[in-house]
Amino acid sequence: MTNTPWIGVDLDGTLAFFDTWRGVEHIGPPIPRMVAVVHAFLGRGIRVKIFTARASQGDEAIAAIRRWLKDAGLPPDLEITDKKDYHAIEYWDDLAISVESNTGRRIKGASILDIL
């Protein structure tokens, strides 16, 4: 399974509501539209990883994410990572800016540069 393509879904601000950091135990309520997207991916047999900086906070953070996934109606055994690899095919993230491959040209998403 490690060579299987996967889609990364960010937690805070994408899959869960986020307004401010309150520690590893606090994760905001699920965002229903994104929960449905994850279910759609899984229903099509697509490998999904929760792609979050929280994973770098250790076992306590991973355990909190697993509890949150279960409470949100998602499989608590989804992979959780903060690392990219060559098998990732998409990232769903509230902070991401989409860039056209090999050009550096922004193709989707607003940038802070737009307001500076």
Q: Per residue in 9-68, pLDDT tens?
A: 999 999 999 999 999 999 999 999 999 999 999 999 999 999 999 999 999 999 999 999
Between CA 74 and CA 30 the distance in angstroms is 10
**Strand 6-9, strand 47-51: pairing:** parallel
CB atoms within 10 A of CB 31: 17
Is residue 1 situated within a structural domain?
no
Residue 29: count of CB within 10 angstroms of its CB? 10
Indicate whether 95 belongs to any domain.
yes
H runs (alpha helix) in 52-99:
59-71
- The residue ranges of DSSP E strands in 1-116, in sequence order, are 6-9, 47-51, 79-81, 88-92, 98-99, 106-108
CATH number, residue 41? 3.40.50.1000
Number of structural domains in the chain: 1
